[in-house]
Amino acid sequence: MARKLLLTHIDVPGINTFEVYRQKGGYVAVEKVIKTMSPEDVVEEVKKSGLRGRGGAGFPTGMKWSFLAKPEGVPRYLVCNADESEPGTFKDRYLMTHIPHALIEGMIVSSFALGANTSYIYVRGEMMPQIRILERAIAEAKENGFLGKNILGSGYDLEIYVQPGGGAYICGEETALLESLEGKRGNPRIKPPFPAIAGLYNCPTVVNNVESIAATVPIINLGGEEYATIGVERSTGTKLISASGNIVKPGVYEIELGLPVEEFIYSDEYCGGIANGKRMKAVVAGGSSVPILPANLILKTAAGNSRLMTYESLSDGGFQTGTMLGSGGFIVFDEDQCVVRNTWNFARFYHHESCGQCSPCREGTGWMEKVLHKIESGHGSMSDIDLLWDVQRKIEGNTICPLGDAAAWPVAAAIRHFRDEFEWHILHPEESQTRNYGLAHYADPLQPIVS
């Protein structure tokens, strides 16, 4: 049984209430931090733990915290990014629904470390039940003296507010989130300045993912060094993975980073293999934004090593043969799934969610969607594949925020690895409407590298 840090007590009845959570060792981290540690110590522990941002980019959390500007007389803010809306990712919602106090406890620890007296949890608008749950949890924590004025008699004040968003994917981008939190249109800001210098209301701000904030609790309880022993290389600790698609047991799993991908998909402890005895065709390893990989490349790297669930191993080989851990939205496709249709579906999502601020993303995402729809519905021509490739190249890297990249990468990866499936769609327009291309050679062993 692998070690669990966040979801240890997830099966305990009533863990969403303060009493049960407290009985199971909750809020010990808050007591430890407030009574025995200084804010700098907490930052140091998080740095030692090697925790990397769980929202997608994987930036070291401790380093992000140490970048926070600390001018005199200016408030600092911690904002929790709970605007989880990446297709395939649902770990934060799970965490907030079932064990909301883990997030609240993490918020108190993190706010203390950053010296923030007001913190916000920006929750995606569609998650209304979770907003109610969090508000109740905050009220419970307040009743018990863990929030509000003079927490545990230490003189440290903290208020946490839950702010529902409007349900826009773009508001998960940190500067767009801050704009939205200020009550403006959720357009990403042009960086620099970064939020650590001028964020919410022009004050220094740290924006962290729900899971990153919750992970500070086990880091404080165990100590940073102990936490860093879990995992491999620079990928330390545990990670929540939202597994979905054609697997026997979809759901949220907490894994120790460093678990082989093959074990994660096929072992009974996790996904339990491909459903209905089918074979695996492809995997999107970290939410819709990351490149899709065919079965042979997701299980083994191009060099022939077994691929592990870590930031480094999944991105081994760059975008040519690798992908990214991203936000941990693990989508598995079996042999009956159509990659062209899936790519179109993703493109449709990004078209719908583009904020429309900068031109390559605003116009380009719609263009890609239309071309993909044309191919999928059997009206494509061979030049459309090259056109798609060209359009995604014009978007990638030329936009204000990473949404442009996130829209371009899945299209690029689908063409890179599944070009023959696109060509088959174009060459067999009628057949492609009635059946799928199937597994083809995507699960075949990799060709040995010719040096």
Return residues touching other proteins (CB under 8 A).
168, 170, 185, 190, 351-360, 362-367, 370, 387, 390, 393-394, 397-400
**Residue 390 CB, nearest approach to other proteins (Å):** 8
**Residue 437 CB, nearest approach to other proteins (Å):** 25
Closer CB to other proteins, 276 or 383, in the complex: 383
Closer CB to other proteins, 113 or 168, in the complex: 168
User: Cα–Cα distance between 82 and 127 in angstroms, integer?
Assistant: 9
**Residue 450 CB, nearest approach to other proteins (Å):** 30
**Residue 122 CB, nearest approach to other proteins (Å):** 18
Tell whether the torsion through CA atoms of 174, 180, 183 and 184 is positive or negative.
positive
Q: Are 334 and 443 in contact (CB under 8 A)?
A: no
Q: Are 250 and 271 in contact (CB under 8 A)?
A: yes
Distances (CA, A) of 175 to 60, 72, 161, 194: 18, 23, 18, 8
User: Cα–Cα distance between 376 and 429 in angstroms, integer?
Assistant: 9
Closer CB to other proteins, 159 or 405, in the complex: 405
DSSP lists the bridge partners of residue 333 as 282
Closer CB to other proteins, 39 or 378, in the complex: 378
Q: What is the 3-state secondary structure (H, E, C) of 299-334?
A: HECCCCCECECCHHHHCCCHHHHCCCCCCCEEEEEE
Closer CB to other proteins, 175 or 212, in the complex: 175
**Residue 313 CB, nearest approach to other proteins (Å):** 23
**Residue 353 CB, nearest approach to other proteins (Å):** 7
Q: Packing angle between helix 100-114 and helix 128-143, nearest 10 degrees? A: 60
**What is the spatial order of strands in the sheet that 329-334 belongs to?**
251-256, 238-245, 329-334, 280-284, 292-294
DSSP lists the bridge partners of residue 243 as 251, 330
**Residue 355 CB, nearest approach to other proteins (Å):** 6
Closer CB to other proteins, 153 or 192, in the complex: 192
**Residue 189 CB, nearest approach to other proteins (Å):** 9
Q: Are 134 and 123 in contact (CB under 8 A)?
A: yes
**Residue 356 CB, nearest approach to other proteins (Å):** 4
User: Cα–Cα distance between 317 and 322 in angstroms, integer?
Assistant: 5
Closer CB to other proteins, 4 or 348, in the complex: 348
Closer CB to other proteins, 356 or 445, in the complex: 356
Assign 107 to helix, strand or coil. Answer: helix
| Phi, psi dihedrals of residue 160, rounded to the nearest 5° | -115, 130
Burial class (CB in 10 A: 0-12, 13-18, 19+), 397: exposed
Closer CB to other proteins, 78 or 178, in the complex: 178
User: Cα–Cα distance between 207 and 78 in angstroms, integer?
Assistant: 6
User: Cα–Cα distance between 372 and 422 in angstroms, integer?
Assistant: 9
**Residue 359 CB, nearest approach to other proteins (Å):** 5
Residue 429's Cβ-side half-sphere holds a number of Cα atoms within 13 Å equal to: 10
Closer CB to other proteins, 100 or 364, in the complex: 364
